A and B are shown apart, each in its own frame.
Chain A
Amino acid sequence: MKKSHRFGAIALAAAATLTLASCGFGGGSSGGDASGKTTLNLLVPSYSDNTQGLWEDVISGFEKANPDIKVELEVQSWDNLESVIATKIQGGEAPDIYNGGPFAGFAADELLYPAKDVVSSDTYSDFQDAFLANAEVDGTAYALPLIASARALFVNNALLEQAGVAAAPKNWDELLDAATKVSKLGGGVAGYGMPLGSEEAQAEAAVWLWGGGGSFGDASTLTIDDPANLPGAEQIKKMIDAGATQADPGSTNRSPLMDIFVQGKIGMQVGLPPTVGQIAENNPDLDYSIVPIPTKDGSAFTLGVMDQLMAFKNDDSKKDAITKFFDYYYSADVYVPWVQTEGFLPVTKSGAEALSGEEALKPFLDVLPDAQFYPSTNPKWSAADGAFKSLFGQIQTKSAQDVLTEIQAQADAG
């Protein structure tokens, strides 16, 4: 009797343990074509509350033009996206079209169609060359640029004026000086908003490390633990030690901190094109300006981020349908409103022309030529990205060198 009870207890423990371990098995729909239709599965992340509606409009327009093709849409949050795609691939349920960030790992596993194979040559030549180059692995583009964004420094003019800072900072010394002065205003006001928390630590890291002349490496090698990255990392520590940032920068996430900027409690913070809309909606009275990101020597620089669409090789009979979908999507009439509503920058030449007159996008379009990108074609980048997210914030307490070493080690192990 005692034995059976123990067995029961262990079975209970087993059941409870496994609820966590087994939650990775999700179902997926396969390309069912009962009515002779080709079904395309589309997995996309949610950029904003509009995303789902925008895709639904694209799909209904596309299905009207191509009645023999059906498109199944699945929208996931960015937080879950990468685990969802990994689970689907592991379960043999990869979507046909996927919108995401890092893709080199998929290309290395030979899961993707080369970009050339799934769009017409007209569409292919319409992409801006720099973006297409950024989607290449060993000279072949495996993903289609979807949207781009660039970053710039959002400055709260009122706070800077109150603190007696005459002009927006252009280099690190001016930034440190201005931020320290704003922080001294007191009342919970922070000079510089520095989000090094897990949400997007890699972006803030890039802003500083690259701004000091460093880089994360290229398609073949990652150079995170590199002397060139030290000046930027040391400058971050200097900012924190001088009290020029908000409290606990190491574990502050970007989105909530941006809300604080919008509320007018932060002097300066690096933001994205959608931030403009966010301010207009939540605090239209905020007196702010958008300036290029200050760097060590004041040279122009911005962190460019490009998201991609990629097509998975599931069933060769779907290739034509995928090509039709991409050609439809990238036509200026469909693509431009999509990009515009989401508040990002277009990656096609025709799109850039159509949006060149946009006032809000101008500061970002101006800095775009100086954009540097993550080495996202490096197969290890995804691991490095994760390592930045979970480790970089430690720079608040640990030495800059130790943090870089630890990130490099985790990235290399990935």
Chain B
Amino acid sequence: MSSTTDTSSNPAGAATGRPRTGGAGRTGDAPAGSARGKPGGRDLAKALPWIAPALALILGVVLFPAGVMFYNSTRDISQSGVDKGSVGFDNYVEVFSFPYFWPIFLRTIVWVVVVVVFTVLISLGIAQILNKAFPGRRIVRLVVIIPWAASVVMTTMVVYYGLEPYFGVINKFLVDVGLIDTPEGYGWTRNPTTAFIWSIVIAIFVSLPFTTYTILAGLATVPGDTIEAAKMDGASPARTYFTVVLPQLRGALSVAVLINIINVFNSLPILKVMTGSIPGYDADTIMTMIFKYIQNQHKVDVASALSVVAFLIVIVIVAVYVKVVKPTREV
């Protein structure tokens, strides 16, 4: 049922009503009344061949692994990977009774909020600059894509090695300008707090291109006459930005924030590289904890349970976001 709702409804933003008339046209010679009144039955049968590949893909790539993940989370799977039968929700009990679970949970929230907020704020600025015409703008726009084009692991490794004591360039620089007084540098990636902060910096850096381009696309849709009108009325540039431009970026911003929340929440590689050598659980988020369950403790079952929990957390965050921000509401 949801699939039919999905195909006949309008995509967000394009609320001109045109797709709906198009949809009615598609039903062809069927009586208009019955098509509108009972969209099920025949319509569905007609639509099925067209949407079947997409449905198969969703089933195979999204729902089936989700099912397996949930199934695994209720099993007792031995270290070598043999399924030893059902244990009900014991794995969930283990996840929640782990003494570091709540600190890890809070750290995950800090991680998501800080990275997303800074990414969006910085991107708003960059997008504003890139929206102005200046010589070489095309090149600068290309340069902004670079963090996106490079592999996240590669970008992280570059910073990681830069931060290494003894031979890292960042450490060497800080020693040479006199900010650090130990000659081998400071172990930035060896201490939970500094490693976590640097991870946040990298996460912001790699999230900027996508966010900037989404906002840039949003800026392109802001009609010039609204800005002109504001100017005519004598509004200051700041006032023009906050009361005319920003509200019209609502659609672009809400997409950027939503996708960033999900992306950042699920990000493993940055933290894995930056905090991987730190003992204990003082720099872990839920994602790195899932990884540690698999890699260090070989508990695929518990890792699955934590994955299910993570999945629910994302859904709750997204639901709250959609409810509070109402990204689909028209300006």
Measured between alpha carbons, how far is A260 from B83 in the docked complex, in Å? 44
Cβ distance A185 to chain B, nearest Cβ, rounded Å: 11
Judged by a CB distance under 8 angstroms, whether B201 is at the interface is no
A residues near B315, Cβ cutoff 8 Å: 10, 13-14
Cβ distance A192 to chain B, nearest Cβ, rounded Å: 15
Given known contacts A198-B276, A386-B296, is B191 in contact with A248 (CB within 8 Å)? yes
Per-residue CB contact flags for chain B residues 54-89 toward chain A (1 = under 8 Å, else 0) read: 000010011001101100000001111111000000
- In the bound complex, do residue B9 and residue A4 qualify as a contact, i.e. CB atoms below 8 Å apart? yes
Measured between alpha carbons, how far is A186 from B299 in the docked complex, in Å? 45
Measured between alpha carbons, how far is A387 from B279 in the docked complex, in Å? 10
Within A103-132, the residues touching B (CB, 8 Å) are 105-106, 108-109, 111
Measured between alpha carbons, how far is A13 from B321 in the docked complex, in Å? 12
A residues near B328, Cβ cutoff 8 Å: 1-2, 5
Judged by a CB distance under 8 angstroms, whether A28 is at the interface is no
Cβ distance B39 to chain A, nearest Cβ, rounded Å: 14
- In the bound complex, do residue B62 and residue A18 qualify as a contact, i.e. CB atoms below 8 Å apart? yes
Cβ distance B18 to chain A, nearest Cβ, rounded Å: 14
Partner of A383 from the list B82, B297, B319 (CB cut-off 8 Å) is B297
Judged by a CB distance under 8 angstroms, whether B304 is at the interface is yes
Cβ distance B267 to chain A, nearest Cβ, rounded Å: 9
Within A21-64, the residues touching B (CB, 8 Å) are 21-22, 24-25
Per-residue CB contact flags for chain B residues 270-303 toward chain A (1 = under 8 Å, else 0) read: 0000001111110000010010101111111000
Cβ distance B260 to chain A, nearest Cβ, rounded Å: 11
A residues near B235, Cβ cutoff 8 Å: none
B residues near A196, Cβ cutoff 8 Å: 279
- In the bound complex, do residue A9 and residue B298 qualify as a contact, i.e. CB atoms below 8 Å apart? no
Measured between alpha carbons, how far is A383 from B262 in the docked complex, in Å? 32
Per-residue CB contact flags for chain A residues 398-414 toward chain B (1 = under 8 Å, else 0) read: 00000000000010011
Most buried by A among B189, B277, B304, B318: B277
Within A372-414, the residues touching B (CB, 8 Å) are 382-383, 386-387, 389-394, 396, 410, 413-414
- In the bound complex, do residue A86 and residue B80 qualify as a contact, i.e. CB atoms below 8 Å apart? yes
Given known contacts A5-B328, A13-B262, A250-B279, is B65 in contact with A25 (CB within 8 Å)? yes
Interface of A is mostly: helix
Judged by a CB distance under 8 angstroms, whether B211 is at the interface is no
Judged by a CB distance under 8 angstroms, whether B183 is at the interface is yes
Judged by a CB distance under 8 angstroms, whether B165 is at the interface is yes
Within A58-114, the residues touching B (CB, 8 Å) are 82-83, 85-90, 105-106, 108-109, 111
Judged by a CB distance under 8 angstroms, whether A151 is at the interface is no
Given known contacts A20-B266, A391-B280, is B9 in contact with A86 (CB within 8 Å)? no
- In the bound complex, do residue B82 and residue A247 qualify as a contact, i.e. CB atoms below 8 Å apart? no
B residues near A8, Cβ cutoff 8 Å: 6
Measured between alpha carbons, how far is A5 from B12 in the docked complex, in Å? 7
- In the bound complex, do residue A22 and residue B69 qualify as a contact, i.e. CB atoms below 8 Å apart? yes
Measured between alpha carbons, how far is A360 from B69 in the docked complex, in Å? 51
Given known contacts A16-B266, A86-B298, is B69 in contact with A187 (CB within 8 Å)? no
A residues near B68, Cβ cutoff 8 Å: 22
Interface residue stretch chosen among B116-124, B136-144, B242-250, B306-314: B306-314
- In the bound complex, do residue A17 and residue B266 qualify as a contact, i.e. CB atoms below 8 Å apart? yes
Cβ distance A162 to chain B, nearest Cβ, rounded Å: 16
Measured between alpha carbons, how far is A89 from B5 in the docked complex, in Å? 42
Measured between alpha carbons, how far is A112 from B87 in the docked complex, in Å? 26
The interface on chain A, measured as residues whose beta carbon lies within 8 A of the other chain's beta carbons, has a size of 71
- In the bound complex, do residue A10 and residue B318 qualify as a contact, i.e. CB atoms below 8 Å apart? yes
Measured between alpha carbons, how far is A265 from B182 in the docked complex, in Å? 14
Residue of A nearest to B70 (CB): A21
The interface on chain B, measured as residues whose beta carbon lies within 8 A of the other chain's beta carbons, has a size of 67
Judged by a CB distance under 8 angstroms, whether B158 is at the interface is no
Measured between alpha carbons, how far is A410 from B302 in the docked complex, in Å? 13
Measured between alpha carbons, how far is A9 from B262 in the docked complex, in Å? 10
- In the bound complex, do residue A251 and residue B266 qualify as a contact, i.e. CB atoms below 8 Å apart? no
A residues near B66, Cβ cutoff 8 Å: 14, 18, 21
- In the bound complex, do residue A250 and residue B190 qualify as a contact, i.e. CB atoms below 8 Å apart? yes
Judged by a CB distance under 8 angstroms, whether B263 is at the interface is yes
Judged by a CB distance under 8 angstroms, whether B2 is at the interface is yes
Measured between alpha carbons, how far is A87 from B294 in the docked complex, in Å? 10
- In the bound complex, do residue A86 and residue B300 qualify as a contact, i.e. CB atoms below 8 Å apart? yes
Judged by a CB distance under 8 angstroms, whether A342 is at the interface is no
Judged by a CB distance under 8 angstroms, whether B10 is at the interface is yes
Measured between alpha carbons, how far is A383 from B293 in the docked complex, in Å? 10
Judged by a CB distance under 8 angstroms, whether A19 is at the interface is yes
Residue of B nearest to A196 (CB): B279
Cβ distance A193 to chain B, nearest Cβ, rounded Å: 11
Measured between alpha carbons, how far is A2 from B327 in the docked complex, in Å? 9
- In the bound complex, do residue B187 and residue A251 qualify as a contact, i.e. CB atoms below 8 Å apart? yes
Judged by a CB distance under 8 angstroms, whether A188 is at the interface is yes
- In the bound complex, do residue B280 and residue A390 qualify as a contact, i.e. CB atoms below 8 Å apart? yes
Residue of B nearest to A397 (CB): B280
- In the bound complex, do residue B2 and residue A20 qualify as a contact, i.e. CB atoms below 8 Å apart? no
Partner of A392 from the list B258, B276, B279 (CB cut-off 8 Å) is B279
A residues near B277, Cβ cutoff 8 Å: 197-199, 251-253, 393
Per-residue CB contact flags for chain B residues 177-209 toward chain A (1 = under 8 Å, else 0) read: 000001110110111000000000000000000
- In the bound complex, do residue A109 and residue B278 qualify as a contact, i.e. CB atoms below 8 Å apart? no
Partner of A14 from the list B62, B182, B298 (CB cut-off 8 Å) is B62
Measured between alpha carbons, how far is A140 from B156 in the docked complex, in Å? 47
Judged by a CB distance under 8 angstroms, whether B322 is at the interface is yes
Known: A188-B183, A197-B279, A394-B280. 19 other contacts (CB 8 A): A1-B328, A6-B319, A10-B319, A12-B259, A13-B262, A14-B66, A14-B315, A18-B66, A88-B81, A90-B300, A187-B183, A188-B182, A248-B191, A251-B279, A265-B166, A382-B298, A389-B296, A390-B279, A414-B297
A-B contacts, 29 listed (Cβ < 8 Å): A4-B5, A11-B58, A13-B311, A13-B315, A15-B62, A16-B263, A17-B266, A17-B311, A18-B65, A18-B66, A86-B300, A87-B81, A88-B81, A105-B80, A197-B190, A197-B277, A198-B276, A198-B277, A198-B278, A199-B277, A247-B186, A247-B187, A251-B191, A382-B79, A383-B79, A383-B298, A390-B280, A390-B281, A414-B298
Q: 5 tightest A-B contacts by CB?
A: A393-B279, A90-B81, A248-B190, A22-B65, A188-B184
Binding site for B on A (CB under 8 A): 1-22, 24-25, 82-83, 85-90, 105-106, 108-109, 111, 186-188, 190, 196-199, 201, 246-248, 250-253, 256, 260, 263, 265, 382-383, 386-387, 389-394, 396, 410, 413-414
